[in-house]
Chain A
Amino acid sequence: MKKKQLWLATILGAQLAFTSPAADTNDTNRDADLAALKQQLLELSQKVQALESQRAADLQAAAAAAQTQNQDLDQKVRILARERELDQEAAAAAAKSAPRLQVGPGGFIASSADSNFVFSLKGVLQVDSRTFFNDSVNKNANDGIILRRARPIFQGTLYRDFDFKFTPDFAPSSGPTIFDAYGNYRYAPWAQLRSGKFKTPEGLEQLQEDVNISFNERSLASDLVPNRDVGLQLWGDIKGGLLSYAAGIFNGVGDEQNSSNAAFENEVEFAGRLFTQPFKSSDLTALQGLGFGVAGTSQNGTSNTKDLPTTTGGTLPGYTTDGQQQFFAYNPAIGTVVASREHWRLSPQGYYYYGPLSLLGEYAISDQGVRNTTTGAQAYLQNTAWEVSGGWVLTGENASFGGVTPLHPFDPHNGQWGAFQVVARYAELNIDNAAFPVFANPAYSASTAQAWSTGLNWYLNKNIRLNASFSHTTFTGGGASTGSGATTSPGVVTRQPENVFFTRVQLAF
């Protein structure tokens, strides 16, 4: 604007400068010209001002429009960003509701998002070797490598509260056998109902998972308790296991026996167990792993043979040693023995775990009514057994009833070797003196077996474990070094102490 005004002033000045002062006659014209020029100047100035105002207004409007546009754009960006955020949240929520597949140390597990439906495939494989030392010539063929357990385990949950488990075993030489096959309704942790084939709630060591027992074989105390049976059981853990109970009705099986899945007799066996871990939830850490309880069974049976340990002797299961050799059988010189009338068991039991230390003990009484079918003699035989075992995890991991989990799983490339545990056990089983000679032959069966064992367990990781142990069992009574007792079962076993070295390779997931 200033340039234009200067230009107009210069023109006006020039016109004034070239006007002659003598030409008075032209003054009037000059004034008019001057006025006209002033008017022109004014108009021009106004025009410039108008243009400038217009331009300022245009700029302001443009700025306002730009600001609005920016705000709109900003909102759009924010909205897009938020929508993306919400999409991600929705995707995360959808992922949570999608079925889950999991493969790990716990096996293969498939579950619905809400865990109401769970299917898992697990397995146990145990390959053992047994080497007997100084055994009689008649039993020198008992060394060997055996497939002790080969069990796929299929278990899971249906509709949140219904559990099931199915465990066949393909290891027995007699063919595949069903071990666990049951359904379980979980109303609450403290009120559950189980039906099918499962472990009778009796022996503590028997109730410990096969993969977690300290030695290859359970102790002599487990000879006097039932194994798995078919029945119905109400059970539960109160206050997170502070007190556990189980009460059930079963078909009833002989000591250490597995059910054959069917029983056709009128009488049933009642079984019950109470177990407490009173300090489990307390601050007394040294006592948190203390647990003790009592269990028992009772059955008023009709006369039969299957409720006894096998009467035929030999290598069939019955009262057996750590090396799984029978040392007692109801095979008297005259007659056949059958179970008769009442059979009850009682088993006080307890354990203590603190850091790497583990202690477990139980006492078992099996009071069995028997009858000699030939002589008609009857008696109640009270057989008793007990065991105490202990262990120490050399590498410092915590021991528990549920096993040992290595802190540093086997990985030699990184200097990790897993966990090592030393274990020791003493056990004995006493046969009621009244068993001899009417119900068992003292020339073959031992009246007492006493066993000590020691071993080393190497936990490579949560799934793989190697065991090595030695067991020494001595007998009172039983077979002699000569005569029929030296060659007839179970005299062939009891004629000398049993010394057996075990190894095991265990894969469990």
Chain B
Amino acid sequence: MPNRIQKVVCASLTAGLLWAAAAVGSAAESKLLNVSYDVTREFYSAYNKSFADYWKTKTGDTVTVSQSHGGSSKQAQSVVNGLEADVVTMNQPLDIDVLHTGGGLLPANWSSRLPNKSVPYTSTILFVVRKGNPKNIRNWDDLVQSNVSVVIPNPKTSGNGRYSYLAAWGYALKKSAGDEKSAREFVGNLFANVPVLDTGGRGATTTFAERGIGDVLVTFENEAALVQKQFPDEEFLVILPPVSILAENPVAWVDRNVQRHHTEAVARAYLEYLFSDAGQELAAQHYFRPRNQAILARYATRYKPVDLFTVSEVAGGWQKAQQVHFSDGGIFDQIYQLNK
């Protein structure tokens, strides 16, 4: 083949490849996987749509977000084991820490990368009782009565269960002026009244609301609202105990996976949008307490004041809580074995 023809062929191909490269560069369609805990389905379903619209307007790019839900700790373990989450939105920091300690999927300082220690909204633990509150359940003490059946998810697999456990523990400590023995007895009596241990918060809702088991469901505030909304005929009542625990729900992008998927920018923007006014407003609408005080104030009738203590105050932080209460052979295992 004459050299001129070779040059024309090569030039044409080079032009074609450059055009293809340009097309690759300009094609912008991202996919994200948000691995979350059990009771955020509805919120993130709405949030994903809002963020996709925002992202399209801002960048012109299309983003599709898939969701995965389950018990918080189980979900975290799934990510460690290979579930390729771009972002994780958990209900407690331990379940994000494990992504660092268990797989090096993100750096140890993940919580410092977003405002408020990467906690865009909070929640608390309260009670859902049956129509008319037949057992007259008002406070934590009512849950340890011998004739009361309580539904709580397993604290070893569910953040919802851990918060419920620690809320009861904290209440008992307060009541007994810090006597751990009394607290242990109180929590033991409480879990003696738990007939079924679900692995996650949504499972506990199913047990209580759909399967008709128990007199009271102990769960997150947003889940309680959802139970009322989803089962209007049951006329469930939400009882806010005078004292409960502050549930801080952190979020993070998973560095290792976003690098693999080439989704660093969109994953980060997805989480930053949680802290925006639009994200905070959506959180408030779905019964999560926004960190933005102005928006929280607008929902003052919904979020009644309650005396909230933190995990640090009642258990010395999550690391210690995990070690003392929820590790194999910890206090929960001891009291639950005793009750069986």
Contact = CB atoms under 8 A, between A and B. Distances in A.
A75 B10 contact: no
A162 interface: no
Interface string B197-241: 011000100010001110000000000000000000000000000
A36 interface: no
Nearest to B213: A78
A293 B13 contact: yes
Contacts of B23: 242, 278
B196 A83 contact: yes
Contacts of B20: 242-243, 276, 278
Contacts of B259: 187-188
Interface string A69-111: 0000001001101110110011000000000000000000000
Contacts of A363: 1, 9
B1 A274 contact: no
A239 B83 CA distance: 21
Contact of A348 (B9, B261, B262): B9
Contact of B82 (A115, A276, A292): A115
Contact of A243 (B10, B21, B203): B21
A116 B82 contact: yes
Interface string A314-345: 00000000000000000000000000000000
A251 B213 CA distance: 71
B329 interface: no
Nearest to B261: A188
Contacts of B149: 75
Contact of A274 (B6, B17, B211): B17
A187 B1 contact: no
A384 interface: yes
A184 B21 CA distance: 24
B334 interface: no
Contact of B198 (A75, A86, A294, A365): A86
Majority secondary structure of chain B interface residues (helix, strand, loop or mixed): helix
B300 to A, nearest CB: 38
Contacts of A399: none
B16 interface: yes
Given A116-B82, A294-B14, A78 B211 contact: yes
A187 B261 CA distance: 10
Q: Which secondary structure dominates chain A's binding surface?
A: mixed
Nearest to B70: A93
Contacts of B213: 75, 78-79, 82
B260 interface: yes
Interface string B253-266: 00000011110000
Nearest to B151: A82
B27 A242 contact: yes
A190 B262 CA distance: 9
B6 A86 contact: no
B82 A348 contact: no
A286 interface: no
B27 A293 contact: no
Contacts of B260: 187-188
A47 interface: no
A346 interface: yes
Given A75-B195, A238-B24, A82 B1 contact: no
A114 B82 contact: yes
B13 A292 contact: yes
A365 B149 CA distance: 82
Interface residues of B, number: 31
A281 interface: yes
Given A75-B149, A78-B212, A293 B17 contact: yes
Contacts of A4: none
A109 to B, nearest CB: 17
A55 interface: no
Interface in B242-282: 259-262
A160 interface: yes
Given A242-B24, A278-B20, A365 B195 contact: no
A348 B13 CA distance: 7
A281 B211 contact: no
B19 to A, nearest CB: 7
A281 B20 CA distance: 12
B142 to A, nearest CB: 18
A148 to B, nearest CB: 32
Nearest to A346: B10
A356 B94 CA distance: 55
Contacts of A83: 196
B81 interface: yes
Contacts of A75: 149, 195, 213
Interface string B1-18: 100001001100110110
Contacts of A90: 199
Contact of A79 (B14, B21, B195): B195
Contacts of B83: 114
Contact of B10 (A160, A348, A384): A348
Interface string A278-307: 100100000000001110000000000000
A188 B262 contact: yes
A276 B17 contact: yes
Contacts of A276: 16-17, 20-21
Contacts of B262: 188, 190
A160 B80 CA distance: 12
Given A75-B149, A187-B260, A294 B17 contact: yes
A89 B203 CA distance: 11
A140 to B, nearest CB: 36
Nearest to A159: B82
A75 B196 CA distance: 11
A82 B207 contact: yes
Contacts of A188: 259-262
25 contacts: A75-B149, A78-B211, A78-B213, A79-B196, A81-B211, A82-B196, A82-B207, A82-B213, A86-B203, A90-B199, A114-B81, A116-B81, A116-B82, A187-B260, A188-B262, A238-B24, A239-B24, A243-B21, A274-B17, A276-B17, A278-B19, A292-B13, A293-B13, A348-B9, A348-B10
Interface of B: 1, 6, 9-10, 13-14, 16-17, 19-21, 23-24, 27, 81-83, 149, 195-196, 198-199, 203, 207, 211-213, 259-262
Interface of A: 75, 78-79, 81-83, 85-86, 89-90, 114-116, 160, 187-188, 190, 238-239, 242-243, 274, 276, 278, 281, 292-294, 346, 348, 363, 365, 384
Given A243-B17, A294-B13, 17 more contacts: A75-B213, A79-B213, A81-B211, A82-B211, A86-B198, A90-B199, A114-B82, A160-B82, A188-B261, A188-B262, A239-B27, A242-B20, A243-B20, A292-B13, A292-B16, A363-B1, A363-B9
Report, nearest first, the 6 A-B pairs whose CB atoms are least far apart.
Answer: A276-B20, A114-B82, A188-B260, A294-B13, A278-B20, A79-B195
